[in-house]
Amino acid sequence: MISRSFRYLFSKGTIFDKILSKQIPSKAVFEDDDVYAFEDIQPQAPVHILIIPKFKDNLSGISQAEEKNVKILGRLLLTASRVAKEKNLSGYRLVINEGKDGCQSVDHLHVHLIGGRQMNWPPG
Ligand code: AMP
């Protein structure tokens, strides 16, 4: 059987595929069978964590989501809430950037967990 990391190595993918296959290092915060949470390399706040599905399943962004993805979408949000609790954040923001106008730069669905400072509204 082909291992997960072997598959990632030869799949055409984004930088997050390389992070998942450990070709590129990352600072893990949480991991289970479905999701991986790690520190953003360019933090926009004292706490800035990305939560991604381990199996992309064509989810390059939230606009690709279908009924069959409901479970992983829930897992991403639940993980964000769990990590926020572990980080003792009293308030925080969850962000999903979508497409060019949404400033998405990596085509692998991800949730930003941003906290540790006062957020502003409206966002920029
Ligand atoms: P987005 O602009 O919503 O697509 O978010 C992509 C995020 O990935 C940005 O906040 C980047 O700073 C982050 N990022 C890109 N490369 C890496 C990396 N190697 N390790 C951690 N975060 C990364």
Closest Cα partner for 26 from 108, 98, 81?
108
Q: Give yes or no: 110 in active site.
A: yes
What value does the mean pLDDT take over residues 34-48? 98
Question: Which of 56, 105, 110 has the most ligand 1 atoms within 8 A of CB, as the residue to mutate?
Answer: 105
Question: Which of 42, 101, 108 has the most ligand 1 atoms within 8 A of CB, as the residue to mutate?
Answer: 42
Atom of ligand 1 nearest to the CA of 39: 21
> What residues contact 80, with CB distance under 8 A and at least 6 apart?
37, 49, 51, 94, 111, 113
pLDDT band at 7 (very low <50, low <70, confident <90, very high): very low
- With the CA atoms of 117, 123, 58 and 7 taken in that order, what torsion angle do they form, in degrees rounded to the nearest 10? -30
Residue 97 has pLDDT above 70, yes or no: yes
Give tens-digit pLDDT for 55-75: 999 999 999 999 999 999 999
Q: Is 104 in the pocket of ligand 1 (CB under 6 A)?
A: yes
CA distance 40 to 101: 21
Q: Tokens 């598959």 sit at which residue?
A: 7
Q: Is 100 in the pocket of ligand 1 (CB under 6 A)?
A: no
Residue 27 has what pLDDT? 98
Q: Which of 48, 108, 110, 112 is catalytic?
A: 110
pLDDT band at 81 (very low <50, low <70, confident <90, very high): very high
